[in-house]
Structure 1
Amino acid sequence: MIDSYAPGDDAEVAATAAQAGADIVRDLYGRHLARIDKGGGDFATAADVAAEQAILDVIRTARPHDAVHGEESGQTGTPDGTRQWLVDPLCGTLNYAVGNMLVAVNVALRDGPAAVADPFTGEVFITDGHTARLRHNGSDTPLTPTSATRLVDVNLDAPFPNAPGFRAVDLLAHPGFVEHFRPRVVSTTLAVAWVAAGKRAAYVTDGGDLSTNLHFAAGIALCRAAGCVLTGIDGAPLGPTGRGLLAAADPETHAHLLSLIRDRA
């Protein structure tokens, strides 16, 4: 575990923290875990809480002066400071609770390095803000986006703030979509990291500004560093006025999906 302040090691702090959370998620998998109701049909489990605590322990040890926004523990430190960590300890809680292993652990320094860990494959996707790599079995390899799979992950989970102008289900029914792509619905932001890694051609989700959303920030950082094309579903840059996310492996895939979205809208 990193235990001293070294600014150049932020990517390693993110990776170590994400791995710590992933270890908890994997260790608790398959157990009967009580659900903690968060309202609106959302819930957490003891695995969410324990994983977040493990992540916070790493960050607070390595970066004691930084602010942290955790999904389960909320905000600690000054949120408008220059350094804020965004922590999503278990993205895909419903998947996890029903025995589905498609989940992710997301840790990102706002506008900086980030990591996404897959608890069950042992893969950790890491970016220092400039390059993106996959760490697996003790070695690092560069992430290389590609649209070769033709698989596009589409988030069908509520809310749908841009309906009826944009509805993801309409995109899946578009003849032009099924002619060129194959849909997937993973229901976790692990799929965003997969775009950076070449396991998905693209990812599409409704929403508002997701650039600093704790569920999406790490995946977005990975995609940016890997050279993916990132905009909102309207083609506008990500930011305070953003609308959802369209992350594509290359410009051609991005342009094609954007045209389909606009056609449906």
Structure 2
Amino acid sequence: MIADFMQAADEAARLGGQVLRTWSTRFTVTEKSRSNLVTEADFASQKVIHEFLHRRYPHHGFLGEEGLEHPTGAGGYRWVIDPLDGTSNYVHGFPYYAVSIGLEEQGELIAAAIYDPTRDEMFLAGRGLGATLNRRRLKTSGERIVGQAMLVASLPVATTAEDPAVGRFLSMIPKAQTVQRTGSAALNLAYVAAGRLDGFWSASLKPWDMAAGVLLVREAGGVVTTIRGGSFELEVPDLLAAATGELQQEMVRILA
């Protein structure tokens, strides 16, 4: 059953990615709030994803970034959708954005797809089935030491110098090998799962930013907690993902 859900997520994410490619040269832009952009592409991608999954699973619930919210239905299934994670990057033609789709069963993440249409890379995961990139099995980097780690963080939209998130970012810079800010939480998590990044943290994400990526990291052997090392909850904007438990513990000591 989980393999079937993974296949559905794969197909839906590719449909969303196709929409993003189609719209990439002809969208207009509005603002949800200062520096929080949305385009027609966001809505068009979400529409095709939702229509595809709803036809296949008419009794499932849905939660999507662009105003999509249907109550969880039979079996406690809910699809959590980000039709374009990294909108600012997309708007500027910076090729670091993705479609992200996660599936919960009774609040537990069981299937995930993150699709990067610029590289045609499909990251998939299923509970107990591992994680893959274009069908190749994924494993985190295994890095244990912050000083040798490539880390990435998400900062709040329109952040100020006084924001605690900025303080955490600055506190990590002299400790890690390198610290980046990229603009797509979904791809950050996928890259931790793939061993391209060693760790990622944020306290400003929404469920659709995290759902698919959290399962990918876990199924690739990584660790996901809060920034203070507590139990991760999808509805709470507090996440730290690391390649290993040792790296997670060192990151917590620096950031908490």
Cα distance, 1:99–1:154 mapped onto 2, change above 3 Å: same
Instruction: Say which of 128, 131, 134 aligns to 1:130.
Output: 128
Cα separation, partners in 2 of 1:53 and 1:240, compared to 1, 3 Å = closer
Q: CA offset at residue 73 of structure 1?
A: 4.0
Residue 9 of structure 2, aligned match among 10, 14, 19: 14
- Native 8 Å contact 2:29 2:39 kept in 1: yes
With normalisation by structure 1, the TM-score equals 0.83
Kindly tell me: are residues 207 and 157 of structure 1, through their superposed partners in 2, closer, same or farther at Cα, counting changes over 3 Å?
A: closer
Q: Tell me, yes or no, if the aligned pair for 2:210 and 2:234 is still in contact at 8 Å.
A: no
Indicate the RMSD between aligned Cα atoms, in angstroms: 2.5
* Alignment-mate amino acid for residue 251 of structure 1: G
C-alpha spacing 1:241/1:105, structure 2 compared with 1 (3 Å): closer
* Residue aligning to 1:27: 22
198, 201, 214: which one pairs with 1:201?
Answer: 198
Find the counterpart in structure 2 of residue 224 from structure 1: 218
AA aligned to 1:13 is A
Q: Which segments of 5 or more consecutive residues in structure 1 lack a partner in the other structure?
A: 1-5
Distance in 1 (CA, whole Å) between partners of 2:149 and 2:2 is 38
User: Residue 218 of structure 2: SS of its match in structure 1?
Assistant: helix
Q: 1:22–1:105: 8 Å Cα contact kept in structure 2?
A: yes
Secondary structure at the counterpart of residue 79 of structure 1: coil
Q: Which residue of 1 aligns with 2:72?
A: 79
Distance 2:27 2:77 in 1: 34
Change (3 A) 1:240 1:125: closer
The answer to whether the Cα contact below 8 Å between 1:106 and 1:218 also exists between their aligned partners in 2 is: yes
Q: Which amino acid aligns with 2:58?
A: P
Matched ranges for 1:1-150 at <5 A: 8-29=3-24, 31-76=25-70, 78-79=71-72, 82-110=76-104, 111-136=109-134, 140-147=135-142, 150=149
Deviations 1:3-23 (A, max 9, x none): xxx664001111111111112
Counterpart code for 2:168:
L
* Structure 2 match to 1:188: 184
Task: Give the secondary structure class of the aligned counterpart of 1:178.
Answer: coil
| 2:184 aligned partner, one-letter code | T
For the Cα contact (< 8 Å) 1:87–1:106, is it kept in 2? yes
Residue type matched to 1:124 in 2?
M
Counterpart residue type for residue 193 of structure 1:
A
The answer for unaligned runs of 5 or more in structure 2 is: none
Output one character per residue of 1:72-93: Cα deviation in whole Å (capped at 9) or x when no partner.
Answer: 24113x2375011111000111
Matched residue type, 2:98: A
Pairing partner for 1:170 from 161, 167, 172: 167
C-alpha distance in 1 between matches for 2:88 and 2:66: 15
- Counterpart AA for 2:57: R
1:254 aligns with 2:248: yes
Per-residue CA shift, 1:94-126, capped at 9, x if unaligned? 111111111011001122201111111111110
What SS does the aligned partner of 1:113 have?
strand
Q: Which amino acid counterpart does residue 128 of structure 2 have in structure 1? A: H
